[in-house]
């Protein structure tokens, strides 16, 4: 079901894609298995959100705007729709130097590789075994 809050979520994903220069679909990182939202969230929590952006020529003049854009993008993709800002609030936050609320964990914060064991990252085991059954139909 589409709503105003799902539109804000989509805008947040788009904003994070633009800032990072990477599409959410097909994103991979060598150090973890999070999607693009999870990667942005992890860097934000560690206070390293600027590492989310590639080093573009002349970007140093716009670091505060880039950091603000990442923060607003994370506000838009929060897990609970009630926590997400309205689009008018998003436009206001992007265009003004107002204090931003603390972002909460994003929705769809998933790891891509579901086969990694919690106890050992070197052991890979399938989560289920596919077994085939055959049913023969017989007339009565």
- Burial class, 42, CB count within 10 angstroms (exposed 0-12 / middle 13-18 / buried 19+): middle
What is the structure's pLDDT at 118?
42
What is the predicted pLDDT for the residue at 59? 76
CATH T-level topology, domain 4-95? Transferase(Phosphotransferase); domain 1 (1.10.510)
Report how far residue 71's alpha carbon sits from residue 94's, in angstroms, rounded to the nearest whole number.
10
Helix (H, G, I), strand (E, B) or coil at 91: helix
Question: To 10 degrees, the CA torsion angle through 119, 122, 128, 132?
Answer: -160
Q: Domain residue spans in the chain?
A: 4-95
pTM, full prediction: 0.71
Structure confidence by residue, pLDDT tens digits, 19-57: 888 887 877 666 766 788 888 888 898 888 888 887 666
pLDDT in tens, 83-129: 999 999 999 999 999 999 999 988 875 544 444 434 444 444 444 55
Closest CA to 107 of 2, 1, 5, 4: 5
């Amino acid at each position: 079901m589409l709503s105003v809050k799902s539109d804000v979520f989509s805008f947040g994903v788009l904003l994070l894609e633009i800032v990072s220069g990477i599409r959410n679909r097909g994103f991979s990182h060598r150090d973890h298995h999070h999607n693009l939202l999870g990667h942005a969230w992890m860097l934000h929590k560690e206070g390293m959100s600027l590492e989310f952006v590639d080093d573009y020529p002349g970007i140093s003049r716009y670091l505060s705007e880039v950091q603000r854009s990442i923060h607003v993008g994370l506000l838009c993709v929060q897990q609970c729709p009630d926590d997400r800002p309205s689009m008018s609030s998003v436009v206001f936050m992007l265009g003004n130097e107002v204090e931003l609320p603390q972002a909460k964990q994003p929705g769809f914060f998933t790891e891509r590789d579901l086969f990694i064991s919690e106890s050992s990252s070197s052991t890979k085991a399938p989560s289920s075994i596919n077994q085939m059954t055959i049913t023969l139909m017989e007339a009565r």
